Each structure stands twice: as C-alpha cells, then as structure tokens.
Amino acid sequence: MTSYLDTQTIVSRSAFAAQMVLAVLLLPLACGARQEKGKATSSNHDLSGVWKMPPEAYGHYDQSFGTTDLPMTPWAQGKFEAAKPSEGPKSVTIAQLNDPFYACYPPGVPRIYLHPFAMQIVQTPKEVIQLFEYDHLVRHIYIDGRSHPGDPDPTWMGNAIGHWKGATLVVDTIGFNDKSWIDRVGHPHSEKLHTIERFRRVNQSTIQMDLTLEDPMAYTKTIEKQFVFVLQPKWGILEHVCIDNAEFLEFNNREVQPAK
Amino acid sequence: MKCKRVILAAFSAGLLLMCGQLYAHHGGAEYDRSKSLSLKGTITDFRFINPHVLFQFETKNEKGEVEKWQGEVSNPLQLTRQGWNRHTFKSGDEVTFIGNPAKSGAKSLWIDRIILPNGQDAGQLHNRY
C-alpha cells in the first residue's frame, strides 16, 4: 500500500537536505580558513602600496647612514678616500665627483632607500616586486622557495630571495657588483656584499625594515640600521628619468664659472 | 593662479611651522651655505625639469643695473606632490628669491625660499622629511 508524506514533513526533510548539501559545499572553505589562520592571516603579509622613503633619504641626513665612522677595512678605507662624493665632509662639485649614481647607474641596495623618491610594493604569490620611482628601477624578490644561484653574475641590484617568517618578510640578497656605493657620502662595498632586509608592516601606514649589511672585504663588523617607510595613499609612482639631465648640466656649468 | 598660490602658501605655512632651520640638500659644494642673499627679480624662464627645477631671472643690483641670475630648487617630483607643475611660474612673474650664492661668484643661487608678491611663501622647495 502506497503511503504519502504530508507537506510539512516534505518541507522539513527538504530543508534538512539542503542544509546538508550546503554544509558539504562550504566545508572546504571552513577548513581552508582554519589552515590560513594557523599560518598567518593574509593581512599581515600585505606590504602593498606606495611608500615614502625613510627620513635618511632626505636633505637633513646627507643620504647616508648618518656617520662616516663605519667600520671599514683598509681596502674600504682606500676606496672611501678615493671617492669624490656630492655629500658629506668630502663633498666636491658636480663636475669633480666620481659617484656612479650621478652617471645614472643603479644605486644598489641599500642606497636605493637613501634617495627621496617613492617606492611601490606589488605582491604576487611568487614575488614581492618593488617598483622604485627612481629611474623606474624594478626589483624582484622571489618568494617561491628558490635558492640563490650558486655563482650569480654580479649585478647592480643583486639577486634577491625572500620568505615570510611570521609577519616579517625576510629578504636575502647577494650577487652585487662592486660598482656602486652604499650611500651618498662615498662608502664602498665589494662583490661580497650580503644584505638582509626584514620588512614588517607594524601598522596600516608604516613598514619597519631592519637592515643587516655584511661585507667582510669592506667592513670589519656587520652594519645594522632600521628604516621606516610611511604609506602615501594619495601618491602614484611618477616618471623619473635620470639621464634626462642635459639642461641641468648646462646650468651647473654656468654656476661654477666665475662671474664676468 | 592666485587661488593656487594661496593654497601653496597655506601649505607652506604649515610646513614652516613644523620644520626648523631650512636645510638645502644638494651636491652642496657649489654654494656658500654661510651666505644668504635676497634678490627681488622678474622671472625670465622657469624649467620644470629633472633633476632640479630651474629659474632664470633678472634683478637690479645696488647700482640699479639689471643682472641676469639663475637659480635651482628641488627635483620636480617632490614639487609635483606639493602642487607645482610646469605652469606654476612663468616669465614676467615678480618674486623674491632667497638662497645661497655660488662659491665661484657666478650669478647662481641655491634657492631656499620664493616669496610671492603678496608676501606669502611659495612652499617647501627642497627635500625635507
């Protein structure tokens, strides 16, 4: 004999079934969220935005580490004495200097942080990309688990890899050439330069970066410095072309000629 | 133009209240930081260019003779963020330039401040934090 369910029962069982289906569909999301929370939330891995360079990049500080008393080796001391910088106690006129920065070569790391131009950070799953306003330099920090090449060809900005340690992005860079200075007052570095930058977004508008600089050929001790970057929500990256300076050089020639 | 200058002046007033002594960052060696000149002049050229924004202007010396001078301020990106552009000044504008003269004796100035005809400051001119 056929029996029929009453309407109330049908509705009740249908609702229950729908809830079960929904639960099954949402289960992976719920599990994923729990796993994400276990690692770290995406928000404290977010360094993205346009950032103002630290105070050391501005005129008060000679765009340096704030001292000429870095622990140089004899090799570095010789290089420093041969340097003819635009800033600091040994500064010379533009026509006299031998700072590669003035020839529009890349400033390298950490000097890229010592010039008053903006920096945009863009993140992908495999890279943290720094878009520097200064001469539109781009730096790729690979966070895909790769190691440094065994014997990287030296470059101006080096070979950078990174990984997240909690809320801190740890960036390890080697493979620099020795053609740049680490600051504007003329401190040198060798191809043995090794930098570690630890970036942490301490609040919505601030990144704190702790720099460790090692170069056994140039410095007898590790150099450490902290830089602070402030978010600039209203800034975009503007165009800066270093080599577009012919008119300025002509101006500069006039300023150093004695008055007639 | 007047409205823009008022805005610039208001911005600069706040900055000057916050900031201490004006410090001119540059190569440094070309200019005598121990001297300060105030030159009232007429702009003859304004170049909003890299790496430093440039002025050419005429001013009268103590004898009443017209002298041709040049001056420089900060990089254009810094100034863009303070509302400057290539139209901020033009030939014929009369302003007062205050800055450090060239060590060579050339008629060249590292400009710290530009005072507008209404007495207000044209804004923050150099790389300051």
Q: For A172-228, what is each residue's pLDDT tens digit? A: 999 999 999 999 999 999 999 999 999 999 999 999 999 999 999 999 999 999 999
Nearest-Å Rg of the Cα atoms of chain B is 14
How close B72 comes to chain A (CA, Å)? 9
Query: What integer pLDDT is reported at residue B33 of this predicted model?
Result: 87
Answer whether residue B71 is part of any domain: yes
Q: Are A181 and A189 in contact (CB under 8 A)?
A: yes
% of chain A with per-residue pLDDT over 70: 82
Query: What integer pLDDT is reported at residue A12 of this predicted model?
Result: 64
| Residue A26 pLDDT > 70 | no
Domains held by chain B: number: 1
pLDDT band at residue A4 using 50, 70 and 90 as cut-offs:
very low
What is the reported pTM? 0.81
Query: What integer pLDDT is reported at residue A2 of this predicted model?
Result: 40
Query: What integer pLDDT is reported at residue A22 of this predicted model?
Result: 61
Q: Is A248 on the interface with B (CB under 8 A)?
A: yes
Answer whether residue A92 is part of any domain: yes
Best of A50, A251, A252, A253 to substitute, by most chain B Cβ atoms within 10 angstroms, is A251
CA distance B12 to A246: 30
More confident residue, A220 or A247: A220
pLDDT band at residue B64 using 50, 70 and 90 as cut-offs:
very high
Q: For A150-180, what is each residue's pLDDT tens digit? A: 999 999 999 999 999 999 999 999 999 999 9
Inspect the interface and report whether the beta carbons of B24 and A59 lie closer than 8 Å: yes
Answer whether residue A159 is part of any domain: yes
Answer whether residue A23 is part of any domain: no
Report, as an integer, the average pLDDT of B62-80.
94
Best of B77, B84, B110 to substitute, by most chain A Cβ atoms within 10 angstroms, is B77
How close B55 comes to chain A (CA, Å)? 10
How many other CB atoms are there within 10 angstroms of residue A250's CB atom? 10
Answer whether residue B102 is part of any domain: yes
Tokens for B73, please give them: 């301020």
Answer whether residue B128 is part of any domain: no
% of chain B with per-residue pLDDT over 70: 74
Report, as an integer, the average pLDDT of A227-232.
98
Answer whether residue B124 is part of any domain: no
| Closest to B45 in 3D by CA, of A254, A257, A242, A243 | A254
pLDDT band at residue B30 using 50, 70 and 90 as cut-offs:
confident
Q: For A73-106, what is each residue's pLDDT tens digit? A: 999 999 999 999 998 888 898 889 999 999 999 9
Domains held by chain A: number: 1
CA distance B77 to A235: 11
SS3 string of A142-211?
Answer: ECCCCCCCCCCCCECCCEEEEEEECCEEEEEEECECCCCECCCCCCECCCCCEEEEEEEEEECCEEEEEE
The CATH number of the domain where A138 resides is what? 2.40.128.20
CA–centroid distance for A186 within its chain: 22
Answer whether residue A18 is part of any domain: no
Answer whether residue A230 is part of any domain: yes
Query: What integer pLDDT is reported at residue A63 of this predicted model?
Result: 84
Answer whether residue B95 is part of any domain: yes
A258 CB neighbours in chain B (<8 A) are 104-106
Per the structure, the complete domain to which residue A181 belongs is given by: 47-234+244-255
How close B29 comes to chain A (CA, Å)? 5
The interface pTM score, or ipTM, of the predicted complex is 0.77
The CATH number of the domain where B22 resides is what? 2.40.50.140
Q: Which chain B residues in 56-75 lie under 8 Å from chain A, judged by CB atoms?
A: 70, 72, 75
pLDDT band at residue A260 using 50, 70 and 90 as cut-offs:
low
Answer whether residue B120 is part of any domain: no
| Residue A32 pLDDT > 70 | no
Chain B residue with minimal CA distance to A234? B81
Task: Scan for tokens 């000097």, then name that residue.
Answer: A111
Report how far apart, in Å, the C-alpha atoms of A236 and of each of A62, A121, A179, A224, B75 are: 25, 12, 30, 30, 16
Inspect the interface and report whether the beta carbons of A117 and B77 lie closer than 8 Å: yes
How close A220 comes to chain B (CA, Å)? 29
Per the structure, the complete domain to which residue B54 belongs is given by: 2-115
Q: How big is the A-B interface in CB pairs under 8 Å?
A: 95
CA distance A33 to A36: 5
